[in-house]
Structure 1
Amino acid sequence: MFSRSQSMQWLATVGVCIAGIATVRPIEPGTAVLLALSCLFLAGRHLSLGPTVTFAWLMAGVLSSVGLIAVSDQGTAYLFTYFLAGSAGARLETRRAVAVASTASLLGALAVGTLPWEFGLTLGLPVLIGMSRRSSREATQAILDAAHREAEAARREAQAVERAAQAEAQTAVLAERARIARDVHDVLAHSLAGINMQLELADALLDTGDLDRIRQATATAQGLVKESLQQAQWTVHALREDALPLVESLTSMLESSGHRDALTVTGTAGELPAQVVQNLLRIAQEALTNAGRHAPGATVQVELEHRAEGVVLRISNGRVDAPVSVSPGSGMGLIGMRERVALLGGTIEAGPVVEGTYMGGWRVTAVIPA
């Protein structure tokens, strides 16, 4: 199928050929051959040929059409030259197009008979129209190419943004997995280790027949189960991003572990983000669990200090003089606390207490910036 422009060009070609056949006179063998060649070359200007072949074809067409002007006494032979010169401007680069047009003008000035020689010079002028069409076509193509490049650049940019979003989402998923892993560790690792230790103790006491100590061990295991359930509820709240009251939760945590009136709050409490509250509670939970495993029965003190530059949570426990049998832990507790504090941009210190009331014990201090 032809485009509208191509259809119009073919109609013009057919019209010129019909006009030439109808008007060029006299029709003699030489004239008829040149007329047929002119029609052939005019029709061939629509073919997609290489630049060199197109140049040779149009030049031959100009020669045949100018020859037709020279041997005819009347008619519209000059239309062939006009259209061929215009095609040269549209199809050829400037140097070759000017060569075709110059040939048409110079030979046309010599070939015209009944018309003035100046008319022959005009035979090459349509090259300017063709060159204008070529420039317009090239400008349009340049605009289309630029639009294509911009669309391609936009597509690549969109793909880059999509890849970055996917990477960010993957990072968020990994971070969430790490957070869930820490929460599961906090709830299960220590609680199950403590329950297992008490059950092993009860099993060992069966042979001694010491029912009081067996009841005490099973009661302790039951208490650990209740505490684990409560910690599981805290974990569910944390995973659902529910905001827990910090002071009330710390108080409940201490009471459930057997330490009443062990919380001291100083400073003016401000509104803390839910993430800060959740991680502070997890740090306190980890530190209290470690204190219960390594220093059972020792005094525990939790200090919550609100400062202008942030909040400080300090958990201290005293020492125990009797030897303690500690069940093996997962080794992830302190690592989990450090990860939580790092996520909040804070610092944490954990180590033995070397002076003061709790000398010989253990202290964990977490500092979270505002």
Structure 2
Amino acid sequence: MHGVVTLAIVVIAFVTVRPLDFTGRGLAVAVLLVITTIALSARHLPEPWLPPRVAPLWLAVGVVAAAALIGMSRSGSGYLLAYFLVGHIGYRLPLRQALALAALSSLLCGAVLYLRLGPGHELVPWTLGVTTGLPVVVGILSRSRQGAVEAGIASAESAERAARAEARTAVLTERSRIARDVHDVLAHSLAGINMQLELADALIDTGDLTKVREAHDRAHSMVKESLKQAQWTVHALREDSLPLLESLEAMIESSGHRDVLTVGGTVRELPARISQNLLRIAQESLTNAARHAPGGTVRVELVFDTASTTLSIRNGPETRETTAGVGSGMGLLGMRERVALLGGAITAGPVVEGAERGGWQVRAVIPE
């Protein structure tokens, strides 16, 4: 649209401005008209093509040429070129430079007409030349509006990038959560089954088929329990509410321990994500106890305080040879991540006193 307007102004100037030929004053008018036209047409060039240091120079040349054109021409609408050129100055240049060139245009054009330096001075009042600097205001306002639009677009793009980054972070967080849950289920289930199968394999050499059958039955029972745990994981991934105490008791029993759970404080229903993570912490701790301290005693304590819930799992040293393989190393890291996401605190380390001395303890405190 701007290009069409510029073309129309240039065409009008070439049609109306006189004299216009190849000799004398007509040649001078033609040269000035070409210079002014080039200066006005350059407004459509991309800004990288005209560096900031060059723009004031070519616009100043255009202003001087437009003022000279008004003085040299006998008739026509050459002053329109000055108006549009000054308007673009307000849009293209910084405020101080724009106002300076606008003042220069008013001064030169007004002086040409006031001093009657050209043959066409009697056709228009000198105040018309002074007003050639006024369109700079329109250019400045247009520049401000364009800046606001660009700022709005930049803000929208920034918000979109932030939303994409947030969505990606949410996806990665969810992947980490699923990875922890899958690890917990596999580690707990497969470690227990592997221990029973290795025990059965070792007992075959002794010829004690009764004990072999018992180990086989325990492994078979663990397989069934693993299916239940898989169902727990599916519910947890769907953020369904799990019965904390019942699930914890079943988990402890499936690990081969009975009557080792102590509950303190006033029992209450916890948010689903807290129950889920407490169960996973207990599951990982029981798995580690079975892997690294087979045959050792286990004690589990769940305390409901006013503003937090504390889960402690303590196991004694192993009482028989450790047969489980090396763990993945992700168990303790996963527990720390779970507690950190809930804003809680966790401690894990060896037991240095009491009946379980030489064993291991995990203690997680989850605020509500």
TM range, smaller chain: 0.7 to 0.9
Corresponding position: 1:242 with 2:240:
yes
Judge conservation of contact 1:300–1:315 (CA < 8 Å) in 2.
Answer: yes
Q: 2 CA distance for matches of 1:87 and 1:100?
A: 15
Q: For the residues of structure 1 that align with 2:182 and 2:84, how far apart are their CA atoms?
A: 77
Q: How has the CA–CA distance of structure 1 residues 197 and 252 changed in structure 2, closer, same or farther, with 3 Å as cutoff?
A: closer
Distance 1:124 1:206, change over 3 A: same
Inter-partner Cα distance in structure 2 for 1:265 and 1:239: 26
SS of match in other structure, 1:265: strand
Give the paired residue count. 320
Give, in angstroms, the shift of residue 350 of structure 1.
2.3
Structure 1 residues 206 and 301: CA distance shift in structure 2, 3 A: closer
State whether residues 87 and 130 of structure 1, in contact with CA within 8 Å, keep that contact through their aligned partners in structure 2: no
Question: What amino acid is the match of 1:103?
Answer: L
Q: Which moved more, 1:139-148 or 1:251-260?
A: 251-260
Aligned-residue offset at 1:230: 1.5
Report the residue type matching 2:105 in the other structure. Answer: E
Partner of 1:72: none
Give 1:23-42 correspondences, 5 Å limit. Answer: none
**How many angstroms does 1:186 deviate by?**
0.6
Partner Cα distance (1:362, 1:85) in 2: 93
Is the contact between residue 85 and residue 125 of structure 1 (CA under 8 Å) also seen in structure 2?
no
User: 2:53 — aligned with what?
Assistant: none
Q: Which amino acid aligns with 1:48?
A: T
Q: Percent identity?
A: 51
Give me the TM-score of the superposition, normalised by structure 1.
Answer: 0.72
Contact 1:269 1:306 in 2 (8 A): yes
SS at match of 1:363: strand
Partner of 1:123: 122
Q: Distance in 1 between matches of 2:123 and 2:131?
A: 14
Task: Please name the residue that 2:321 is paired with.
Answer: 324
Conserved? CA contact 2:66–2:81, under 8 Å: no
What do the CA deviations read for 1:251-302 (whole angstroms, capped 9, x no partner)?
2222333434433222234553322111111011111222233444444332
Helix, strand or coil: the match of 1:243? coil
Counterpart amino acid of residue 125 in structure 2: P
The change in CA–CA distance for 1:88 and 1:204 in structure 2 (over 3 A counts) is closer
Tell me, yes or no, if structure 1 residue 186 matches structure 2 residue 195.
no
Corresponding residue of 1:56: 68
CA offset digits 1:192-244 (Å, max 9, x no partner):
13322322333343344321122122112112212211111111111111121
1:349 aligns to what SS in structure 2? strand
Which of the two has higher C-alpha Rg?
Answer: 1
Contact 2:346 2:364 in 1 (8 A): yes
Using structure 2 for the length normalisation, give the TM-score: 0.72
The residue aligned with 2:307 is 309
Going from structure 1 to structure 2, the CA distance change for 1:232 and 1:127 (only over 3 Å counts) comes to farther
Tell me if the contact between 1:350 and 1:364 (Cα under 8 Å) persists in the aligned partners: yes
Q: How does 1:1-370 map to 2 (within 5 A)?
A: 3=5, 10=12, 48-50=37-39, 51=62, 52-61=64-73, 65=74, 80=75, 93-104=105-116, 123=122, 126-132=125-131, 134-136=133-135, 138-320=136-318, 322-328=319-325, 329-370=327-368
Which residue matches 1:68?
A: none
Contact 1:89 1:97 in 2 (8 A): no
Distance in 1 between residues matched to 2:197 and 2:132, nearest whole Å: 96
SS class of match (2:257):
coil
**Distance of 2:80 and 2:347 partners within structure 1:** 88
User: Which 5+ residue runs of structure 1 have no aligned equivalent?
Assistant: 18-32, 66-79, 109-119
1:30 corresponds to = none
Q: State the superposition RMSD in angstroms.
A: 3.8
Q: Structure 1 pair 279/107, CA: closer, same or farther in 2 (3 Å)? A: closer
Distance 1:260 1:243 in 2: 25
C-alpha separation between the residues in 2 aligned to 1:86 and 1:124?
15
Query: Structure 2: 5+ residue runs without aligned partners?
Result: 40-61, 86-103
AA paired with 1:276? I
Change (3 A) 1:132 1:86: same
